[in-house]
Structure 1
Amino acid sequence: MSLSPDAPQLRSIHKQIRFATLRVIMALILREMTTTYGRKPGGYVWSILEPIAGIALMSWIFTTLGLRHPGLGTNFAMFYATGLLPYYVFVNVSSKLAQSLSYSKQLLAYPRVTVMDALIARYFVNLLTQLLVAYLVLAWIKVFLDTGTDLILGHVLLGFVMAAVLAAGVGTLNCFLTSMFQFWGSIWSVLMRPLMLLSGVVVVVDATPPNWRDYLVWNPLVHVVAETRSGFYHGYQPDYVSPAYVFGVALVTGVLGLLFLWRYHRDILEA
């Protein structure tokens, strides 16, 4: 008969492992908050001012051009906020996640710190920051400006969940690609430059010619932006929105990223 540890001992070991992992993640979260926001002039304040400045600038430009109404509704600030803020959730969170290994490379030399710990800590700090910024900006616009919008919370939450999940998947895959191939960061930055225009942030995809629309809907951010806006503008229900497609892209990219990181993380850290 083979001897095996008692069940209580196994449970105790599992609890110790989970507690140690949680401590590591919390330590990484505190480090992320301190180094990313605590040492900059303005810190978290700049995270709020950045989207406000972008929304104000776009509103001023299109008002100056003589446009009386935005793509949806009557208020330029609300229109751009409902597109720009979920877009920022994806862009900012995925870019931070892509730098997880380079950011925590020295700490990953310790046995207790794993690649997954670094990914989880960096993801949640930046995601919660972006969601808080989005809430504050949208709430301010809704309370202090005449937007003519009525909130449908379910659509808004789904839109931001789609953005968050997509950021996790794409960011994880890019974490591997940027760590393994130095040139990928430059390629990705070039690909990202026209992304705002191609995601329906400035111009509603529904207003584009049908042959353009057929190509634009392959961009998962188009679905994210449209779903978020449908939670503010009654009667706006774009039939091309597919949460399943966005979650599918996030799942495929996330699984590929995790598999490649699991296989090659030692080579990356030793390089």
Structure 2
Amino acid sequence: MNEATSWNRGSFAAALTTQGRVVGALMMRELHTRYGRDNIGYLWLFGEPLMLAVVIALLHSGGGESLGDINPVAFSVVGYTIFIMFRGIVNRSDGALESNLPLLYHRMVTVFDITLARALIEAAGTIMAFTVLFGLCMVVGFTEFPPEPLFILLGIVFVFWMSFGLSLIITGITYENRLLGRLVHPMTYFMIPLSGAFFRVSWVPRPWRDYLLYNPLPQIFEMIRYGAFESCTLEFVDFQYIVEFLLVLTLLGLLSVRAVTRRVHLN
């Protein structure tokens, strides 16, 4: 019994290590394909989200007064920079399978690995951009050191989890349906006013607030702001609902990937 358990654990660890190497190789391939080595090369990984977030921060720098300890620039950096991760992961999932179809000739490469590698790249760039911009906000005096940094990290993990779950679904349903693929990008723009990235949930009157909270993103951004700003609270955050929603989303994503894997034909 003990030998069988030890063997199973060893096999699982070996398989996990192998898949980790596969995902790492896919990430390096994606980075080289997307950015190459010209100009600043791989630095575009966080250069793109950094530029987008800087533009949004500058737009908020000239208007509005601070609400307590919440500066408009720091508020927009926290919201939009992390929303870029959601938008990037979801948008990149459209067409992910078609552009990487030859890789499935390799037995160890799966649709899940391809989608995960792309999501991790987007997350890495966004987190670096967020760290740089929030650090600059602290240096220039727009905000203080986060009172609860672990909640920022937890919120980023939840945003990544939700984005990845959606990307699995989109990868599966858009493989043979280009019409649905064309709706992905507009959908991410429609999500901006529904995400809570640019407003606090307490600012939304009832009953619209209750409807809004069915979407876990505003709750997650409330969690991130609670970690970043002293005056923010967890009043509208339901951790159990968020986790249950994301578990169901992930299950649907895995079923979508499983279904599309059966329909992929390599010539």
Same fold by TM-score greater than 0.5: yes
What is the aligned partner in structure 2 of residue 169 from structure 1?
165
CA RMSD of aligned residues (A): 3.1
- How far off its partner does 1:104 sit? 1.2
What is the aligned partner in structure 2 of residue 142 from structure 1?
138
The one of 194, 197, 213 equivalent to 1:198 is 194
What is the aligned partner in structure 1 of residue 27 from structure 2?
29
What is the aligned partner in structure 1 of residue 263 from structure 2?
267
- How far off its partner does 1:97 sit? 3.8
Instruction: Give the Cα–Cα distance (whole angstroms) in 2 for the partners of residues 105 and 40 of structure 1.
Output: 26
- Label 1:116 to 1:142 Cα distance change in 2 as closer, same or farther (>3 A): same
Contact 1:73–1:79 (Cα < 8 Å) also in 2: no
What is the aligned partner in structure 1 of residue 129 from structure 2?
133
What is the aligned partner in structure 1 of residue 103 from structure 2?
107
SS class of match (2:178): coil
1:57-68 paired onto structure 2 within 5 Å: 57-62=55-60, 64=62, 67-68=63-64
Instruction: Give the Cα–Cα distance (whole angstroms) in 2 for the partners of residues 73 and 171 of structure 1.
Output: 35
Instruction: Give the Cα–Cα distance (whole angstroms) in 2 for the partners of residues 222 and 111 of structure 1.
Output: 40
- How far off its partner does 1:20 sit? 4.9
Q: Which deviates more, 10-19 or 81-90?
A: 10-19
- Which TM-score applies when normalising by structure 1? 0.82
Instruction: Give the Cα–Cα distance (whole angstroms) in 2 for the partners of residues 262 and 75 of structure 1.
Output: 45
Instruction: Give the Cα–Cα distance (whole angstroms) in 2 for the partners of residues 8 and 200 of structure 1.
Output: 47
SS class of match (2:247): helix
Name stretches of at least 5 consecutive residues in structure 1 with no aligned partner.
Answer: 1-5
CA-to-partner distance for each residue in 1:65-87, whole Å, 9 max, x for gaps?
xx432566352220101111221
Q: Which deviates more, 34-43 or 215-224?
A: 34-43
Does residue 209 in structure 1 map to residue 198 in structure 2? no
1:198-237 paired onto structure 2 within 5 Å: 198-237=194-233
Contact 1:166–1:246 (Cα < 8 Å) also in 2: no
For 2:122, the aligned partner's letter is: N
**Equivalent pairs: percent with the same residue?**
23
Instruction: Give the Cα–Cα distance (whole angstroms) in 1 for the partners of residues 20 and 104 of structure 2.
Output: 15
What is the aligned partner in structure 1 of residue 81 from structure 2?
85
- How far off its partner does 1:9 sit? 10
What is the aligned partner in structure 2 of residue 3 from structure 1?
none
- How far off its partner does 1:114 sit? 2.1
- How far off its partner does 1:229 sit? 0.7
CA-to-partner distance for each residue in 1:111-136, whole Å, 9 max, x for gaps?
33222332332232332222222222
- How far off its partner does 1:269 sit? 4.0
Instruction: Give the Cα–Cα distance (whole angstroms) in 2 for the partners of residues 244 and 52 of structure 1.
Output: 32
Instruction: Give the Cα–Cα distance (whole angstroms) in 1 for the partners of residues 110 and 76 of structure 2.
Output: 39
Count of residue correspondences: 264
Name stretches of at least 5 consecutive residues in structure 2 with no aligned partner.
Answer: none
- How far off its partner does 1:49 sit? 4.5
What is the aligned partner in structure 2 of residue 256 from structure 1?
252
- Label 1:254 to 1:205 Cα distance change in 2 as closer, same or farther (>3 A): same
Instruction: Give the Cα–Cα distance (whole angstroms) in 2 for the partners of residues 262 and 237 of structure 1.
Output: 40
Instruction: Give the Cα–Cα distance (whole angstroms) in 2 for the partners of residues 10 and 234 of structure 1.
Output: 47
Contact 1:86–1:228 (Cα < 8 Å) also in 2: no
Contact 2:165–2:246 (Cα < 8 Å) also in 1: yes
- How far off its partner does 1:156 sit? 0.9
What is the aligned partner in structure 2 of residue 184 from structure 1?
180
Contact 1:48–1:133 (Cα < 8 Å) also in 2: yes
Structure with higher Rg: it is: 1
CA-to-partner distance for each residue in 1:43-62, whole Å, 9 max, x for gaps?
44445444444444444445
